[in-house]
Amino acid sequence: MAKFSLCLLLLFAVLVGHGIVELEATHHIYSRLQTPQNETKTPWDYRFQPYRTGYHFQPPWHWINDPNGPMIYKGIYHLFYQYNPKGAVWGNIVWAHSTSRDLINWFPHPPTIFPSQKSDVNGCWSGSATILPGEKPVILYTGIDPDKKQVQNIAYPKDLSDPYLKEWVKSDKNPLMAPDNVNNINASSFRDPTTAWQGPDNIWRVAIGSKINDLGFAILYKSKDFLNWVKAKRPLHATRHTGMWECVDFYPVATNSQCGLDTSTLGPNVKHVLKISLDDTKHDYYTIGSYNYTTDKYTPDKGLIDGDAGLKYDYGKFYASKTFFDSAKNRRILWGWINESQSVADDIKKGWAGVQAIPRNIYLDGSGKQLVQWPVSELEQLRSSPPVNVFDKRLEAGELHEVTGVTAAQADVEITFEITDISKAEEYRPRWTHAQWLCNTKNASVRGGLGPFGLRVLASSDSQEYTSVFFRVFKKADNKPVVLMCSDQSRSSLNEDNDKTTYGAFVDVDPIKEKLSLRSLIDHSIVESFGGSGRACITARVYPITAIEDKARLYAFNNATEGVTISTLSAWSMKKAQIS
């Protein structure tokens, strides 16, 4: 009996010593890796910073993750985000806050939401903003209570006349929604409330992701006054074998325009999008479907799947994304968190981790079968004129064409290819349904008839380090084309500690009917690529050792066995933005 007690004590000590959290949360607690209080390191101690971005949002240092509560108020855009004020790993999480007039240049404010009540004493996790009638923003967010349970709280601006909304207060009614003995909600799987929407009955609805075993679902809560919430009997949607649904997002899209819609919009030319961030795979998936507001049930269109076989916003590193309705310009804007692909040790060495993607305009494709994304047009103000232009250039088989005259580590490049016949393209096999696998098997060094061709970015002049973003065109048995887009990071860095996974996506375009286009936003350690005018998006993080700053090069390449024609290539050096 004594021996047994001793073993238990030792086990307990080991567990406590490692700071391991008992409950099933998504974050590992690195209690040993936080910057000690008395050691105030500044970013300027970490002098070698070749990977910090020039125009992608990131704070001066420390860890960031999910974008929170994005919104527009009195003409000013707000971005909140999960932030650790004490270290380059997840922990001590608060809502940091920045504002902008153009979604590109940002001004920081002190953190607005941090532990201050019983209902968030152990953490202020993600949530969303809802603009109530009368232009009154409120935030619903997940707090971690004294028993480490996940609960939902409300916060609202202290002073609505402050356009920067610097201070927020919390209701003493918090938590407004919590797991209890009656509702049987899983207390460690109940988080990330969506922006709420109001039905024709004037009742507000909000969705919160949860799971039971490996069945993920979105719990629905309803309210008349936004303070008293009642759980609906049925969830908004559920899918077997998907695991926990984080950062659920639910919003309407217009079927007959590219304009965004207010979150409460319903009507004949409206469909809905349900997006889920799957904890098990760390990817964001969406379906397009129909929302029945009388039964409060969402049904995805036939053929669309929630989960790993389904559509993704971005086929690379992109997670915990969230949209908001930009009422000033009638757009729906998508934010996404781009985590590091370096080791935790490297993150600590450099003193920071995480960037946000460039905000993207998101809308339903004309076909109705997928969403299309494109960087907000405000980004173009950073383009240095004039661009470097190339028109109607034939790239012979195996040719590498350098694009000079741009700051290759901080650039915006658009290239289109003209393809008139696909007879020389490789044969496509019907079982090749996994784009990422196909890009790994047929990477940039594997030559085909019509591909690989595309861009080589953050490249060293000796070809020791480079990231390839390219297309590979196949032809099916019926002679119809299949276009594959790859972001190949396998040779991106001589540092073997980085995650150099290659990403891939099929692009639903006919390259003969329309020119095959690729746009890449290059920013030191991030490459955000858009294929087919935004029908396939792939974001990657790369950390070259030599191909940095003025040593980085930009090329157009064609490693196919046949030549290909560049119809247009435009490359701009990008000015630095005020990134936070």
Partner 1 sequence: MGSSIFLFTLFIAFHLLIFRQQPSIFAAADMNLIQKTCKNTKYYDLCVSSLKSNPRSSSVDTKGLANIMVGVGFANATATSSYLSSQLLSTKTNDTTLKKVLKECADKYTYAGDSLQASGQDLATEDYDYAYLHISAAADYPNACHNAFRRSPGLAYPAELARREDGLKQICDVVLGIIDHIISSS
Of the candidates 106, 104, 90, 98, the residue with the CA atom closest to the CA atom of residue 19: 90
Rounded to a whole number of angstroms, the minimum distance from the CB of residue 184 to partner 1 is 6
Task: Tell me if 215 contacts partner 1 by CB under 8 A.
Answer: yes
Task: Tell me if 181 contacts partner 1 by CB under 8 A.
Answer: yes
Question: Between 213 and 367, whose beta carbon lies closer to partner 1?
Answer: 213
Rounded to a whole number of angstroms, the minimum distance from the CB of residue 298 to partner 1 is 11
Residue with tokens 């989960």: 307
Rounded to a whole number of angstroms, the minimum distance from the CB of residue 369 to partner 1 is 22
Q: Are the C-beta atoms of 388 and 87 separated by less than 8 Å?
A: no
Rounded to a whole number of angstroms, the minimum distance from the CB of residue 239 to partner 1 is 5
Question: Between 217 and 318, whose beta carbon lies closer to partner 1?
Answer: 217
428, two tokens: 């496509």
Q: Which of 66, 145, 488, 523 is catalytic?
A: 66
Residue with tokens 């019509």: 450
Per-residue string for binding with partner 1, 129-168, x by CB under 8 A?
A: ----------------------------------------
Rounded to a whole number of angstroms, the minimum distance from the CB of residue 212 to partner 1 is 4
Question: Between 41 and 240, whose beta carbon lies closer to partner 1?
Answer: 240
Residue 344, C-beta contacts closer than 8 angstroms, at least 6 positions apart = 30, 33, 89
Of the candidates 548, 210, 289, 240, the residue with the CA atom closest to the CA atom of residue 408: 548
Residues found in the chain? 580
Q: Are the C-beta atoms of 317 and 338 separated by less than 8 Å?
A: yes
Task: Tell me if 503 contacts partner 1 by CB under 8 A.
Answer: no
Partnered with residue 468 across adjacent β-strands are 456, 488
From 18-26, 223-231, 235-243, 531-539, give the range in contact with partner 1 by CB under 8 A.
235-243
Rounded to a whole number of angstroms, the minimum distance from the CB of residue 205 to partner 1 is 18
Q: Are the C-beta atoms of 497 and 342 separated by less than 8 Å?
A: yes
Q: Are the C-beta atoms of 457 and 524 separated by less than 8 Å?
A: no
Using CB under 8 A as the binding rule, the residues of this chain from 236 to 275 that contact partner 1 are: 237-240
Q: How far is Cα 134 from Cα 129, in angstroms, rounded to an integer?
A: 14
- Helix and strand totals (H; E) in the chain: 3, 38
Residue type, 281: T
From 87-95, 112-120, 234-242, 430-438, give the range in contact with partner 1 by CB under 8 A.
234-242
Question: Between 140 and 219, whose beta carbon lies closer to partner 1?
Answer: 219
Task: Tell me if 180 contacts partner 1 by CB under 8 A.
Answer: no
Task: Tell me if 390 contacts partner 1 by CB under 8 A.
Answer: no
Per-residue string for binding with partner 1, 308-347, x by CB under 8 A?
A: ----------------------------------------
462 is catalytic: no
Query: What are the residue ranges of helices labelled H in 178-255?
Result: none
Of the candidates 520, 398, 544, 399, the residue with the CA atom closest to the CA atom of residue 464: 544
Task: Tell me if 232 contacts partner 1 by CB under 8 A.
Answer: no
Rounded to a whole number of angstroms, the minimum distance from the CB of residue 147 to partner 1 is 12
Q: Is residue 223 packed enough to be buried (19+ CB in 10 Å), middle (13-18) or exposed (0-12)?
A: middle
Task: Tell me if 184 contacts partner 1 by CB under 8 A.
Answer: yes
From 231-239, 364-372, 432-440, 564-572, give the range in contact with partner 1 by CB under 8 A.
231-239
Task: Tell me if 213 contacts partner 1 by CB under 8 A.
Answer: yes
Q: Are the C-beta atoms of 379 and 105 separated by less than 8 Å?
A: no
Q: Between vectors from CA 557 to CA 443 and to CA 509, what angle results, nearest 5°?
A: 70
Question: Between 240 and 575, whose beta carbon lies closer to partner 1?
Answer: 240
Question: Between 235 and 359, whose beta carbon lies closer to partner 1?
Answer: 235
> What SS3 state is found at 558?
strand
Question: Between 7 and 212, whose beta carbon lies closer to partner 1?
Answer: 212
Q: How far is CA 233 from CA 152, 196, 221, 222, 460, in A?
A: 18, 18, 9, 10, 59
Q: Which of 217, 324, 363, 506 binds partner 1 (CB under 8 A)?
A: 217
Q: How many residues bind partner 1 (CB under 8 A)?
A: 12
Question: Between 7 and 305, whose beta carbon lies closer to partner 1?
Answer: 305
Rounded to a whole number of angstroms, the minimum distance from the CB of residue 232 to partner 1 is 13
* Neighbour tally for 346: CB within 10 Å: 17
Question: Between 136 and 240, whose beta carbon lies closer to partner 1?
Answer: 240
Q: Which of 54, 69, 143, 235 binds partner 1 (CB under 8 A)?
A: 235
Task: Kindly report the three-state secondary structure assignment for every residue of 41-58.
Answer: CCHHHCCCCCCCCCCCCC
Residue 115, C-beta contacts closer than 8 angstroms, at least 6 positions apart = 94, 121, 122, 123, 124, 143
Rounded to a whole number of angstroms, the minimum distance from the CB of residue 270 to partner 1 is 23
Catalytic residues: 66
Footprint of partner 1 (CB under 8 A): 181, 184, 212-213, 215, 217, 234-235, 237-240
